[in-house]
Structure 1
Amino acid sequence: MNKPESQLQVHLPSTTKQKGDAAEDRALHHLKAQGLKLLQRNYRTPGRGGGEIDLIMRDNDGTLVFIEVRNRANTKHGGAIASVTLVKQRRIVFAAQHYLLKLRHMPPCRFDVVAVEGDAMQWFKAAFDA
């Protein structure tokens, strides 16, 4: 028995984690369309107090790109880009250093931020330095 359209429910992300995952999915799709290749998603360092990187990708020129995806419903309190504080940057850099230990050769690297605010998305290349 099929429900009439008026009774169908659309399941939108409801928890903060679900909203963050949906923003990451959008960012990943956009970055792939720009030619970046996904190497790893949600990379975490072992132990407590470590860091996490949302997306690790390779750009067309070979640069290893560590990407933080920030999602905010609106621009109050500075919006998504302002939420990447110095403390958050340090944790991302720590996780990137840990990731780089596994590689034989040190590639060029950069730290990008994808800010998602509602339907809008902005990609900030080289948003901060290590």
Structure 2
Amino acid sequence: MTQDARARGQNAHFAGAAAEEIAIRAYLARGLTLVKSRWRGPHGEIDLILRDGETVIFAEVKSSTTRDKAAARIKPAQMQRVFNSAGAFLEGEPLGQLTPARLDVVLVWGAGEVEIIENAYGHG
């Protein structure tokens, strides 16, 4: 790996961590509880896992310079990996797959602008 590639990777890591911190603050301001960040399941990583009462929220955080660019970073294959990993996480819950849950997308752009799209992968 070249030094430039390593630097780009580090910058992306730090930018992602900063965006996740912004997302966490937005959820905490809504009264949710953080359960895990960067949880690794058998199908991949989930950026944030939170609780809102009995409901488990799985959040994928995307960041860029604009809202539209952040939203464009959401890919179907990645959505499927998050969905599959969420299922694996729910296996450890007392109600298993019957646990109330939703999958959110959090867009972070500019100087800390944030939008939480609830149930982004579901219906309604």
Structure 1 length-normalised TM:
0.78
Matched, 1:123 2:116: yes
More helix by share: 2
Q: CA RMSD in A?
A: 1.7
Give 1:74 deviation, angstroms. Answer: 2.7
Give 1:73 deviation, angstroms. Answer: 1.9
1:39-86 deviations in Å (ceiling 9; x for gaps):
11111124xxx21101100114x21100011111235xx421222111
- Structure 2 match to 1:65: 57
Query: Where does 1:31-70 land on structure 2 (aligned, <5 Å)?
Result: 31-46=27-42, 50-60=43-53, 62-70=54-62
Give 1:129 deviation, angstroms. Answer: 2.5
Name the CA distance, whole Å, in 2 between partners of 1:59 and 1:126. 13
Q: Name structure 1 gaps, 5 residues minimum.
A: 1-13
Task: Name the aligned partner's letter for residue 16 of structure 1.
Answer: A
Name the CA distance, whole Å, in 2 between partners of 1:112 and 1:82. 15
Give the SS at the match of 2:74: coil
Total equivalences in the alignment: 111
Following TM superposition, the consecutive aligned residue runs of length 4 or more in structure 1 with deviations greater than 2 angstroms are: none
2:74 alignment partner, one of 84, 96, 101: 84
Give 1:115 deviation, angstroms. Answer: 0.1
State the structure with more CA Rg: 1
Name the CA distance, whole Å, in 2 between partners of 1:57 and 1:86. 22
Task: Name the aligned partner's letter for residue 63 of structure 1.
Answer: T
- Structure 2 match to 1:109: 101
Q: Name structure 2 gaps, 5 residues minimum.
A: 1-9
